[in-house]
Structure 1
Amino acid sequence: MADNGTERLTRTRRDTIKYGGAAICSGLLAGCTGMTDSERETGPTGNSDYSVSMAPNGEITLDTTPEKWVPYGGDYADMGVALGQADGMIGIGQTSEYYTDIYDELPGVSVDTDRIAENDLVENSMSMELFYEMDSDVHLIDTEMLKHWFDWSRADIEEIHNQVAPFVGNMIFRRSDGWHDHRYYTLYEAFEKMAELFQERDRYRAFKRFHDEFIADVQTRLPPASERPSVMLTFEGMNDPETFSPYRLNDKGTSKKQWSDLGVADALAGTGTENLSTNNRGELDYGNLLEVDPDVLLIRGHEQKSATEFRDTVLANMEDHPVGSELTAVQDGRVYRGGYLRQGPIHNLFLTERAAKQLFPDEFGDVTSDAKLFDRQRLSDIVNGEF
């Protein structure tokens, strides 16, 4: 990464974060030799040290829980909120892609969006100086993403890791990027890592029980697979779309979790269409969509709209389009918002509820209805530490 000429701050790493292994695990990305189970509980010297290991960044050892933290995406931001750490979030990768309105339905759960917007990493061109200014205790960011999306060098990463705070994180929302050759994690595997980081294992277990019960209940109410609709997931942020970026539902990224849990068929199966990725930016036009003609069409990029606002703009324009109006999904009024790109565990509960109503309205109620499929108060209690 080019130096912009600003003199960088240099200082000794704060005493509260310590690293396992030598030279930041020999280059940060190679991983570290793990401690024994007893050392993980009490630390190698008998104190309260603990370690967290996550690909690609390797293992870090801490002697206190991070108080200030910065995620890149809304997925890790939401994980921190779910673990009761909202007050410590001081920045984020992109404020516009972190959806917080759902917290309004959870008593006692909120995020200071003005504060994190002041430290929007992308708005600040992922400046290394901003990392120094934030002075966070941990960065929830996949370092390979920094290299391939923002041109950070290994030296840049090691500098911030050493001089400011370590990196813990893995890009999990999709699995189609060639550069992501390290381990992937499911949503709850990554969430568990964050619970280890913030020492909130009990709250994580309570949250996972809540999630598992909710998903099991929804799945018992689903129709047989032969009666479920074929679904195409796309992205297009315009109100009057002409082309669409394809998302494959067979990709196991966390942004598809609700569709996987609902067992829907990918309308693009067998077409040879590849999932959107860093290198694949191909788009489909209405003619391509008509060849597939899915029962349900999902369009991402409209999460600031309500279900009604989406129908009154995007769907209405498709109904007026000479080719788009021929789509079965358009004629049946089954074109919906496609959900967040980066969803965390709280997001996922709301998005699964919404998806169930989108796909199976006869069973779960119309998507514009107020029907609720999980207990908001019980979820709030878990997030607020009452479980």
Structure 2
Amino acid sequence: MDINRRQFIGVGASALAAGLAGCSSSGGEGNTETNTSTSTSQGKTATSTPEDTSYTVSMSPTGDVTLEKPPESVAHYFPGYADMAVALGHGDTINSMGLPSRYHTNHYTELDGVSIDKESLTKLVGDAGISKEIFYDLDSDLHMIDPQWLIKNNTFGLDAADIEEISEKVSPFFGNTIFRRTDKWHDYRYYTLYDAFEKVAEVHQEQEKFSRLKSFHDQYITDIQTKLPGPNSRPNALLCWQGSNEPETFYPARLSGKGTNKKAFHDVGITDALSGTGIDGLSESNRGTIDYETVLEIDPDSILLRGHEQKTREEFENTVVKFMKNHEVASELRAVKNGKVFRGGPIYPGPLHHLFLVERYATGYFPDTFSGELFDREELASIITS
């Protein structure tokens, strides 16, 4: 462990990282007191103590984490949290991702001066799950990851003892699983997208920038919602996942559910086509599928299909939609006939991605009302890079 660097991070009430509080300067044996400097002038000795710049950030389930300065190297699992760091101008602190393939970054190309070196990110999830050693190799100042997400996912192979060890010997964990709200083990507080974003801003000490970004978001969403048709005139959608270019079965999800991955749909007033059908959505414990015959019984106004975020709209049309139009049953669906089959967006959206998603769905669902760019890219980029 790099004690010289690790001394800049301490822990408050977080039990997982309590041992970290013992880290101190490596100046030599016995040199464990607070650093002071002395000066002598005209026979008088003055002693000065460096100003305490530490700050504490609290978030469920990890509790209080005390930092001496903003972290320079942060381990991430969720792309949504990485998007928050980029929005705050700290994309260079991101050193890893659970699955980099799920971190969609094309929207950064539309924001001047905003980018991330995705190729440099370490992939946390391997064939055998997540190795404890990878966190030692990364030697991060902070793990921006909900530890319960790592513990409760049996495929990762980590347990509470592993997380406690990493917290003590490397650095603490800080984060909350917010992209969905269907995990039975998540029995602690949930955060909205901007609640969590505010916590990340505190970690990076970018509260003023967060305030400006939130104001940008609030005004943008207000402008959109004041132009939406009345509730009775808004379409419903079947949200599901299927990554195949020739889909035959689908994993349904409840669009009416909470979690950050549904926020863009709610912001543009799209309703859940599965309401009242008795069909449960995709969750940790439910991996059931539905076929075209079931979809035809529902006959939704539109279909939102996840698993194709790497495609452009044109590529999606030329593969998935083309297949559905030529399918004996799918071609009978109202959504297919009316051209209302859309990419369903990422599973882990962050605040910047969310702005682009709202634009995508507003223009896709209500083309007579919305068209072109719905928010000022230059203004947004200037906030991020300021």
TM-score scaled by length of structure 1: 0.88
Matched, 1:19 2:14: no
Query: Following superposition, which runs of at least 4 residues in structure 1 exceed 3 angstroms of deviation?
Result: 9-13, 21-28
Cα 1:10–1:148, aligned 2, differ >3 Å: closer, same or farther?
farther
Give the structure 1 partner of residue 373 of structure 2. 372
Give the structure 1 partner of residue 135 of structure 2. 131
Give the structure 1 partner of residue 87 of structure 2. 82
- Structure whose CA Rg is larger: 2
Cα RMSD (Å) of the superposition? 1.8
2:257 partner amino acid = D
* Alpha-carbon distance in 1 for matches of 2:243, 2:189: 31
Query: What's the % identity of the aligned pairs?
Result: 49
Q: Contact between 1:245 and 1:282, CA under 8 Å: does it hold in 2?
A: yes
Q: Deviations over 1:248-268 (max 9, x none)?
A: 111111000011111222110
Give the structure 1 partner of residue 261 of structure 2. 255
* Alpha-carbon distance in 2 for matches of 1:292, 1:27: 55
Match of 2:115 among 110, 117, 130: 110
1:343 partner amino acid = P
The equivalences for 1:1-387 within 5 A come to 14-21=6-13, 24=16, 47-116=52-121, 119-123=122-126, 125-149=129-153, 150-365=156-371, 371-385=372-386
Q: Secondary structure at the match of 1:362?
A: coil
Cα 1:27–1:174, aligned 2, differ >3 Å: closer, same or farther?
farther
Cα 1:152–1:384, aligned 2, differ >3 Å: closer, same or farther?
same
Give the structure 1 partner of residue 31 of structure 2. none
Unaligned runs of 5+ in 2: 21-49
* Alpha-carbon distance in 1 for matches of 2:213, 2:191: 18
Q: Secondary structure at the match of 2:123?
A: coil
Aligned residues: 354
Q: Contact between 1:78 and 1:347, CA under 8 Å: does it hold in 2?
A: yes
Unaligned runs of 5+ in 1: 1-8, 29-44, 366-370
Q: How far apart are residue 126 of structure 1 and its match?
A: 1.4
1:347 partner amino acid = H
Q: How far apart are residue 23 of structure 1 and its match?
A: 5.3
Q: Contact between 1:231 and 1:294, CA under 8 Å: does it hold in 2?
A: yes
Q: How far apart are residue 159 of structure 1 and its match?
A: 0.6
Q: Deviations over 1:295-337 (max 9, x none)?
A: 1101000011111110111011011111111110011111010
TM-score scaled by length of structure 2: 0.88
Cα 1:56–1:84, aligned 2, differ >3 Å: closer, same or farther?
same
2:318 partner amino acid = D
Q: Secondary structure at the match of 1:364?
A: coil
* Alpha-carbon distance in 2 for matches of 1:66, 1:163: 16
* Alpha-carbon distance in 2 for matches of 1:303, 1:233: 14
Q: How far apart are residue 25 of structure 1 and its match?
A: 6.8
